Structure 1
Amino acid sequence: MGAADSTAAPVPVPAVASRYDVPEADAFTRTYWDAAAEGRLLIRRCGACGRPHHYPREFCPYCWSEDVRWEAASGRATLYTWSVVHRNDLPPFGERVPYVAAVVDLAEGVRMATELVGVSEGELQAGMGLRVAFPEGVPVFGPATEASTG
């Protein structure tokens, strides 16, 4: 087939380019990622023992009950620990260094792995107040401000 052949079938192009830094949503996690795209953070809470958990699972990691449901989180958190990443050879992270990989304690009582944005390395301290943001539909955390702590 030549370049001018108009009978060639078009090559399918995905609607959204794949990102290496975001997990691919499946039937179960679609609810989580759709909420994040709308600027809402969800966690799971067990109906049997009442404990919240994150990352999303179809069962309670504490009592193994399957009576778990989605719940809106407040978006408030405190910094538990962090690491400033200065080198990462995996795409697309190499283009983003340095960045801050962190673990935060959500106000609802669960820990979450995330990235910190909008804060310099010298400002980081355990226990600092944070607030969720959703650049490109991905939950990350930045410093809480008086206006955002409401």
Structure 2
Amino acid sequence: MTAESTAFWSGGERGELMIAFCDDCARAVHPPQLVCPGCLSRSVTPRAVAGTGTVYTYTVNHQPWLPDMQVPFAIAVVDVDGAPGVRVTAPVDCADPATVRIGQRVTIAFEPAGDVWLPLWRPLNGEAA
């Protein structure tokens, strides 16, 4: 973790998806950086966003990269609500990865992994997946 990424990796402990925003031009800055790439301001602050979004694209992995890895599983790139231009890539927590689809609404969840909380997406409002 770096100073600028700590909020993103630790927000899951509180169930919050933390995205950095420029205090001067309001641009969402992800991955988090010390300087806004839009206006070059050094005033960038993390804040919690809704934690919902729409699947932009996804892939289903069938390769067990580790001996105990469960396959298949889906990984989605999600357009995050309330953070224009931000996409977060994470696994989709679902019983059948074949049901994940582009345009599907999802919500964030988190899984602890040492000092960080890893994001994962879950279908929203009982949508199949």
1:56-95 CA distances to partner (integer Å, 9 max, x unpaired)? 2112122322111111111111000001111153x48x61
Whether the aligned pair in 2 keeps the contact of 1:81 and 1:103 (CA below 8 Å) is yes
Q: Secondary structure at the match of 1:78?
A: strand
Question: How far off its partner does 1:30 sit?
Answer: 2.5
Q: Which has the higher contact order (CA 8 A, sep 6+)?
A: 2
Give the superposition deviation at 1:135.
Answer: 2.1
Specify the alignment match of 1:80 in structure 2. 56
CA distance 1:111–1:119, shift in 2 (3 Å): farther
- Aligned twin of 1:67: 43
Shift of 1:27: 3.5
Q: Which amino acid aligns with 1:139?
A: P
Paired residue for 1:129?
A: 105
1:105 to 62, 79, 104: 79
Which TM-score applies when normalising by structure 2? 0.80
Equivalent pairs: percent with the same residue?
30
**1:121, distance to aligned residue in structure 2 (A):** 2.9
Structure-2 residue corresponding to 1:143: 123
- Output the amino acid matched with 2:77: V
In the alignment of these two chains, the number of paired residues is 120
> Which one has a bigger Cα radius of gyration?
1
Alignment of 1:34-45 (within 5 A): 34-45=10-21
- RMSD (CA atoms): 2.0
Single out whichever of 33-42 and 117-126 deviates more from structure 2.
Answer: 117-126
Distance in 1 between residues matched to 2:43 and 2:20, nearest whole Å: 10
Larger fraction in strand? 2
TM-aligned CA deviation for residue 145 of structure 1: 1.4
User: Which structure carries more helix by proportion?
Assistant: 1
Structure 1 residue 102, shift from structure 2 partner: 1.5
Task: Mark the CA change 1:49 to 1:34 in structure 2 (over 3 Å): closer, same or farther.
Answer: same
Where structure 2 has 5 or more consecutive residues not aligned to the other structure, the ranges are none
Single out whichever of 55-64 and 131-140 deviates more from structure 2. Answer: 55-64
1:108-137 alpha-carbon deviations (Å, 9 max, x no partner): 122111111125233222111100011222
